[in-house]
Structure 1
Amino acid sequence: MGKSNSSLRSRWTALDIVRGLTIALMILVNHPGDWGNLYAPLAHAEWHGATPTDFIFPFFLFIVGVSIVLAFSRVLAKGVPAKSLYPKIGKRTFLLFVFGVGMGLMIHLLFGPDFRWVGVLQRIAVVYLVCSILFLNTSWKTQLITCVVLLVGYWLFLGFVPVPGTGSTGFAWEDNWASWFDRQYLPGALYQKVHDPEGLLSTLPAIGTGISGMLAGHLYLHLHDHHKLLRYFAGVGLGLVALGLLWDLHFPFNKNLWSSSYVVYTSGWAMLFLAGVTWLVDIRGWKWGVRPCLVFGANAITVYLLAFVLTFPFALPLFGAEHSIQGWVLGELRNLPLNPKQVSLLWAVLYLAICYIPMDILYRKRIFFKV
């Protein structure tokens, strides 16, 4: 029929698979051959709305929250005092933040735009730090209340408190509290000039995404029957999706603002997706095609950094003033019977495959870099 829950609880393979799939999709989306030729599902919504690509980052933060509960619970169960975990939390937060800043610095030095202090890794660092402290010092009920307060408070603040200078309220491009806050207090350049998708104020509801993953982790640890676990995941996930759709009517899905409805909606889908993979892999024993996801998931941050670093030798002009490795490959691909969007996507797939090779070697040698 399937594995017992004791086996399921010892190693949640589905979690590793979803983590790896998420990071692989991040790389696929971040490294197209031509930004001017993207399939709509592989592009972010310009403002309101949510494309499949807009699910990737919240899925990863959701997995961060789940992983915090599982990893720290195992350590605490061995009698390790909670206070001894703080140096590890601080080190990991610091490294994630420094790597993120380092990525921004490389872009600044090589391409010359104004330096940007925030980014994906910096947001992961903050969410990891806050959620870790919450887990070690509060119960799941307090974590749930914190999540609700963050999301409802963010909605009320953006939706009903007038923005300085304009007196307007709401979620319009540029004229909203998150954008105003970034322009006033965020040092360095903003990714979108008047707004930053990884800005200061919008990090608060992103913490809510991490907490939603923590709550899923609590469910996993405390529901001993795997069929009951999946029923809870399905029920809660569907409830969150429905709530997100209702909330979207007043606070639209918006990745740039990390709107509260977006948090609830994407967390619901993350729970449903995780439940589906758990049923397929951990319970039914499905093995075909899962290895690449496990490979990426085992060194998720490492492959994310590798994909970024490889951008430079591939994209910088090495063959004369205008030609690069990427440009040469794209030129060859354009000779194939493919349209421009297919060429752009094929480059992204080839780039992902290149990133996979060293990760597979590390996986075979059981080498895992824990950032």
Structure 2
Amino acid sequence: MTAKAPSNRLISLDFFRGLTIMGMIIVNTPGSWSYVYPPLTHAEWNGATPTDLVFPFFIFIVGVSIVLAYTKYLERGRERKEMVPKILKRSFIIFALGIFLALFPEFDFANIRLPGVLQRIAIVFFSCALLLLYTTRKTQLWIGWGLLIGYWLVMALIPHPELGLSLAEPGRNIAAWIDTTFIPGRLYQGTWDPEGLLSTLPTIASGITGMIAGYLIVSDRSRDRKVIGLMVGGLAAFTLGNIWDWVFPINKHIWTSSYVLYTSGLASMVLGACYYWIDLLGKSKGTFAGVVFGTNAITAYVLSGVFLVVTHRAWIGDQSLVSLFMDGLTSFGIEPHLASLIWALSYCFLCFIPVYILYKKKIFIKV
């Protein structure tokens, strides 16, 4: 099918966003965590797998989207102060949805985990949107570099007050101490959290890299030059990230500065390829599913968390739908890893159904 995005939207960006959300759903919902193909798992510590690209790609897209949306409002003469309440409201809603998913369905407030994916997206969106409104592009670039270099120096020079410093071991760094000391409730890894406080700072830098790409897209340059800019800039960031990896390893768990450049570089090149193929050449055939997910991305992600209650709750004896699915496929001789992947793909299709209905009805939920 051929994709048709809402008017005035960049189809390639919707497609890229949709692929990212599909990736999030697939890697988060295997049929069994005991049977997952290695590329669909996170790196244990340093390094990066394809799964480790999904979240930073989405953060990069957030930065691009901020520029596309708010520069348009400014060009129409909207006052900056008029946009701040809406930015604050949207950030609050995204953060609240993250808290809702953390509590759903038991709503055990005593065991709540405050950090999370949507919470981090909300913080990045709020920070980058305000940067766009009240700072220049040059200042944003300097802030991005400042966050990356400052974070590197803090992580490399300030030890954990109790455990010392070792960036080769989880939990033995200042970010872990800050999480344990200042974040109430449960932490994902017990003594630290991958969406913790300090590591959110370089995540904002990831959003700023997306803003830089967004400025290129809205510029007066020809489409050919935009593609070249995205590809060359992406390659430069990717290369610099790999070089920085020698002294500050690429690591998603603590969102290292090298990880920011490595993933943002790849994201820029992927966006450049999508922009060239879809928007420049006009080849939108085969982009339908991505665009459908991309136009209601946060909605799809929230639904993927809600549907887990149905699919993972015991319905027949002590078996859930996912366990029945896995048992059924493996009983027919399907290898468990493949059965687990088939479930993840099926679950992604389940999430596709409601967002497809929204798309057909031209309902695009802005959260």
Taking structure 2 as the reference length, the TM-score comes to 0.95
Q: Which residue of 1 aligns with 2:141?
A: 144
Write the letter of the residue equivalent to 2:171: E
Matching of residues 302-341 of structure 1 within 5 Å: 302-320=299-317, 322-341=318-337
Shift of 1:266: 0.2
What 5-or-longer segments of structure 2 have no aligned partner?
Answer: 1-6
2: CA distance between counterparts of 1:344 and 1:165?
41
Distance 1:289 1:360 in 2: 15
Deviations 1:106-161 (A, max 9, x none): 26547x99321110000000000000110000111000000000000000111112
The alignment-based identity, stated in percent, is 45
Aligned match of 2:50: 52
Q: What letter matches 1:79 in structure 2?
A: G
Report the 3-state secondary structure (helix = DSSP H, G, I; strand = E; otherwise coil) of the residue aligned with 1:334.
helix
Equivalent residues of 1:15, 1:63 under 8 A apart: yes
Q: Which residue of 1 aligns with 2:87?
A: 89
Q: 2:233 aligns with which of 233, 236, 257?
A: 236
User: What SS does structure 1 have at the residue aligned with 2:319?
Assistant: coil
Task: Find the partner of 1:288 among 285, 290, 303.
Answer: 285
Match of 2:294 in 1: 297
2:247 corresponds in structure 1 to: 250
Residue in structure 2 matched with residue 360 of structure 1 by the alignment: 356
State the number of aligned residues.
361
1:209 deviates by 0.3
SS for the counterpart of 1:318 is: strand
Give the RMSD, CA atoms, in angstroms: 1.6
Aligned to 1:350: 346
Per-residue Cα deviation, 1:82-122 (whole angstroms, up to 9, x for no partner):
11111110111111111111111126547x99321110000
Deviates more, 1:99-108 or 1:38-47: 99-108
- CA apart distance, 1:231: 1.3
Aligned-residue offset at 1:172: 2.9
The amino acid that maps onto 1:300 is: A
Q: Could you tell me how far 1:78 is from its partner in structure 2?
A: 1.0
CA–CA distance in 1 between the matches of 2:219 and 2:229? 11
1:6-45 correspondence runs (5 A): 11-45=9-43
Check if 1:262 corresponds to 2:227: no
The superposition leaves residues 52-80 of structure 1 with CA deviations (integer Å, 9 ceiling, x where unpaired) of 00000000000000000110011111111
Q: Distance in 1 between matches of 2:312 and 2:167?
A: 40
Q: Is the 8 A contact 1:108 1:115 kept in 2?
A: no
Give distance in 2, aligned partners of 1:162 and 1:328. 48
Cα distance change of structure 1 residues 361 and 167 upon mapping to structure 2, 3 Å threshold? closer
Please list every run of at least 4 consecutive aligned residues from structure 1 whose deviation after the TM superposition is greater than 4 angstroms: none
The residue identity in structure 2 corresponding to 1:86 is V
- Partner secondary structure for residue 331 of structure 2: coil
Q: Offset of 1:162 from its aligned partner?
A: 3.0
Deviations 1:156-199 (A, max 9, x none): 11111233134436453211111111111111111011221100
**Residue identity opposite 1:99 in structure 2:** L
Alignment of 1:103-182 (within 5 A): 103-106=101-104, 109=107, 114-168=111-165, 170=167, 172-182=169-179
Contact 1:108–1:114 (CA under 8 A) maintained in structure 2: no
